Amino acid sequence: MKIKEIKSFEILDSRGTPTIATLIETDNFLKEVGFVPSGASTGSREAIEKRDNGNSFNGMGVSQVIKTAEENLFPELIGMEIGMQEEFDSRMIELDGTKNKKNFGANVLLGLSLAYCKLSASKEKKPLYKYIHDYFLKHFSSEIEMKMPLPMMNILNGGAHANNKLDFQEFMIQPVGFCSFKESLICGVEVFNFLKKTLNHKGFSTAVGDEGGFAPEIDSAEEALDLISSSIEKAGYKVGEDVTFALDCASTELFKKNEYIFSNSEKLSSNALTDYLDKLVKEYPITSIEDGLDENDWQGWETLTNKLGKKIQLVGDDLFVTNKDVLQDGIDRRIANSVLVKINQIGTISETYQTINLAYQHNYKCIISHRSGETEDNFIADLAIGTGAGQIKTGAPSRSDRTSKYNRLLMIDAMEDLKFLGMKELEK
């Protein structure tokens, strides 16, 4: 089975911004399409998302980017065999010829890589998650088991994902005290709905941010955590037992001239911010902190990891950008203990697999993640199960771009008898 035709076209992401969809057709008329997500808060080491920078869509269009790929990349891929993910992705990387994929754009390459992966599963007549798992077992590790992931739900937004004065970007819950994915999801949905009632009662807006979480006009992490705690209790659950907290500080967005500058003009050193995060962990049942410090504050990350790395999950997002070379640097310096996996940060499925595998080899946890600019494509749900990642971050149970992932997971859960670890997923 070989590639016969490739077609890319503009579609809209969940923010109404253009992104790329790519359809690949084989010589026996199989077709699959990949939709490419896009981020708002991005790390400087991410692979390049290429835009037209012209008049269309206020410079955000991708039609000229697609045209360049149609003329210079697609013809080189026609005739390639289906079912050889690493070879296909390597060929694209070779043709691009740059380390950060700035020639054709990581958004172009990812659309191709996604469609190719789906076609490979179709060729073998396997569900996508099963194909991914079998591929991972064959090429990387024979010890990885499929399992249902623990949700990491962003239910209250700040930072670059909302128009308020809340500096930290995401306040999330993890429903850990349950025996099944479905029960965990139900808990998350109920807490989210009670949070809406709580906010309404206090006179706050219940408009949602980019990832479906509420974005009230509050200005402190403590106030956000207290509101969520109250909602958990009103929903009939126990804080710290049934539900724990996770934070995405997105601290790179706060870092200016070697200081962390907050919206109230407070300025904190790296050590002071570390002490503040330590204080929050002592006061609230926080089990995960993402991007607690700036992506280039490596010395600070060493201090943060020494202080909190044995207590909670410390996740690198902007820090590692799903890049195995950057992750290796972090491993060598004993920084963080977990990696956020975003397929568009690196631009191909093969490289995503490589990063996940490297994390597993060094006992780093993996959290499969969406982007703030999402599509209806639910590939990451299959990726989380197929690689045995154990955790998924895909927003609030709100907006169809987020619920499509939860619904895909519910479908797989109904079809398969897969284990769900709950709190054990977070154990060191």
What pLDDT is recorded for position 219? Answer: 84
Query: Which CATH class for the 3-125 domain?
Result: alpha beta
Domain boundaries of the chain, sorted by first residue = 3-125, 150-426
Per DSSP (E only), the strands in 62-121 are none
pLDDT tens-digit readout, 151-180: 999 999 987 656 677 999 999 999 999 999
pLDDT at 392: 98
pLDDT given at position 175: 98
Active site positions, annotated: 211, 342
pLDDT of residue 15: 93
271 has which bridge partners? none
Which residues of the chain fall below pLDDT 70? 41, 160-163, 428
State the pTM of this model.
0.96
C-alpha to C-alpha distance for 367 and 391, rounded to whole angstroms: 5
**236, 226 in Cβ contact below 8 A?**
no
SS3 of residue 235 by DSSP: coil
Token digits for 268?
């904190």
With beta carbons less than 8 A apart as the criterion, state whether 291 and 255 touch: no
The DSSP code for 130 is: H
150 touches 391 (CB < 8 A): yes
pLDDT at 162: 63
The CB-based long-range contact list for 294-299 (8 Å cut-off, 24+ gap) reads 294/251, 294/252, 294/254, 294/255, 294/260, 294/270, 294/318, 295/43, 295/44, 295/45, 295/252, 295/319, 296/44, 296/255, 297/251, 297/255, 297/270, 298/333, 298/335, 299/270
Q: Computed over its alpha carbons, how large is the radius of gyration of the chain? A: 21
Q: Please give the CATH architecture assigned to the domain spanning 150-426.
A: Alpha-Beta Barrel (3.20)
